[in-house]
Amino acid sequence: MYDNNSIEDSLWEVPSLPLLLDRIHHRLDDERLKRAEFRSWLTEDVKAEFINGSILMHSPAADDHNEATGQLYRAASLYADVFNLGKVRVEKALIGMTRNDYEPDIAFWRKEVADRFEPGMNVYPVPDLIVEVLSPGKENIKRDTETKYEDYAAHGVREYWIVDPKKQTVEQYLLSETAPERFELHKKAILTDNIESKVLAGFAIPVKAIFDAKTNAYAIQQLVKGKI
């Protein structure tokens, strides 16, 4: 994980810092142009992200990834709609942050923010809750557990879930109350646990409901009835 304070302190000791900053500004200017071009050709048929100056094109996801994403989205979206808590989006909602553009697997915005959504908008504000479902491969896992983890926290995402469809676990992170812009692990839930969102108020489901269709259907019934 990155420590921004340590990085800043280290840079402050570099005698050529002004020259270094000039070079960084030029690179960031070039990166902004590349990002604008990325947004100009990105369509709803393409799943891609712009991360630290590079364009990441996503391959088709494995079935266990699609299953977990679909089950959790169905439950969270219906719950948010029934109780008028906000909006949930899946996979193709482009989140514009300071430097990067992400398309999280699942994102939730509280009602006060979601009420400002417009039909033609295609870049969304920073969500309150983000869920990423891990895909195989060191780079994919590193991106979700390091790059996005740090960037989401830095931009004030209040809650972050990392779902592992292989291990069938959920890591739930919340913004730290004592260290702003950093996540703290709130719970690592296994298949026999329940997990409850702190941001999507009252949304609590068995972890198994993310990975099993029958459990998911029953959990949704109970959620709507207010019994979980």
pLDDT in tens, 58-90: 988 999 999 999 999 999 999 999 999 999 999
Residues of the chain with pLDDT under 70: 1-5, 227-228
Amino acid letter for position 141: I
User: Domains of the chain: which residue ranges?
Assistant: 61-225
Write the DSSP symbol of residue 146: I
Give the pLDDT score at 157: 97
Fold adopted by 61-225: tt1808, chain A (3.90.1570)
Compute the C-alpha angle 66/224/191, nearest 5°: 45
Please state the separation of Cα 40 from the chain's center in Å: 23
Alpha carbon distance 159, 63 (integer Å)? 25
Quick one: pLDDT at residue 3? 65
